Structure formats: structure tokens, C-alpha cells
Amino acid sequence: MSLELYFHPLSSFCWKVLIALYENETPFEPQLVDLSNEASSAAFKKVWPIGKFPVLRDTANHHTIPESSIIIEYLALHYPGKTRLVPEDPDLAWQMRLRDRFYDLHVHTPMQKIVTDALRPSGRNDPLGVEQAQAQLRTAYDLIDQEMRTKTWTMGESFTMADCAAAPALYYANRVLPFGDTHKDAAAYLDRLLRRPSFARVFEEAQPYLALFPK
């Protein structure tokens, strides 16, 4: 098997890539990374010294590909499947990338700020930073709610990389700042994502690890 994915089942950005892999039933060898384990961490940093996952190794082509969006672009180019995750039309492709970036930068990033703050030692929290992150999420929720009022997926009827980004971002954001009662169309979109077989599989595999998520 030429593809190896270095990942952790709790990582939101790893979920993004796993959704893409499962969406097209792309064969790969999972390489679970435990950064708290010295041996596992050291082995992973030999593959990618930066030490952040996910990372895809294509042993057949001798490529190491980090970063979730780049991995999915690589898969779409070299290992395409039934679901075209990157639109062929250039104008649709840049619009899709804009939405992919939106979920990574304006939902994922503030969500992770809140989660990281919850993991800080007592007395070393950043309440102002959390307040700012919550405000960023509320703004993002407003935009998502408006856009998803008339759409099934971010690009309309076609499931793309942007939906791979949206699924973990919205799931975890809803855990830290629930939006079900305030943004009905965004919540309905998250529900569709959770019922998508590729994401449902990722979510099921993450169940043993979800207890580690900070309350």
C-alpha cells in the first residue's frame, strides 16, 4: 500500500483528510501518532520534523505531503475517486478553496483557541482571547447560516473539500459554542454532514478518544 497517513483520531484537521479518504474509498495505511509518547513522537518527526499532523506519505512516488488542504488536493490529483473533491472548473475551484479557507481560518482557528485555553494550567488562561474567539465564531456562524439557507453542501449539490473542512470545524465549534438554537440552517448543515457516510465513519472511529476532549 503506497499511502500512509500519520494522524490522531481526535484531531479535527485529521478528520478533514480522513473524510476525503473515506469519501472515495482510497486505500491507505493508518499510522497513529501519539505526541505524548516519546518514541511515537520521535518516529513521526523523522517523517515531518515540524511535528504537526496530518501528514500523507506516498511511498510509491516518494512524496511527503503535510497540511490537510494540500493532502486533499494531492489525492484529488493523483488518486481521484467517485467524488470530485476539487471542482474541475477553475472558477468553481477557487470558490471552493475560498470556503475551505473560511472554515479552516474562521471556524477551526477560533475553536482551537477556546480548546487550547481550556487545557491551560489554572491561572494561566486567556479570557480576553477566548472572548475574541467566541466573537469570531459568532460572526462565522452568521455567515454560514445565511449561505446554507439554500444549499445542501457548500458548493450547492456537490460534496467537495470545503465540506471536508466544514465537518470537523462545525462539530467541534458546536461543542465549545453551541449554535443549534441560534443558527438553524448552519445546524441543519452540520446534521447533514454527520449523516454523510464518510464523516459518520470518522466520527465512529473517534468515539474511544472523544472523552479526552476538554469539557
Q: Give the tens place of pLDDT for each residue, 174-194.
A: 999 999 999 999 999 999 999
Query: Where do we find the cell 481550556?
Result: 118
Question: Which residues lie closer than 8 Å to 113 by C-beta, 6 or more apart?
Answer: 129, 130, 133
**Quick one: pLDDT at residue 1?**
63
Instruction: Give the model confidence (pLDDT) of 60-93 as tens digits.
Output: 999 999 999 999 999 999 999 999 999 999 999 9
Domains of the chain with bracketed CATH: 3-78 (3.40.30.10), 90-196 (1.20.1050.10)
The average pLDDT across 119-146 equals 95
Instruction: Give the model confidence (pLDDT) of 161-178 as tens digits.
Output: 999 999 999 999 999 999
Instruction: Give the model confidence (pLDDT) of 102-128 as tens digits.
Output: 999 999 999 999 999 998 888 899 999
Query: Where do we find the cell 471556524?
Result: 107
Of 22, 16, 54, 20, nearest to 170 by C-alpha is 16
Residue 58's pLDDT band (cuts 50, 70, 90)? very high
Coil/strand/helix, residue 95: helix
**Quick one: pLDDT at residue 213?**
87
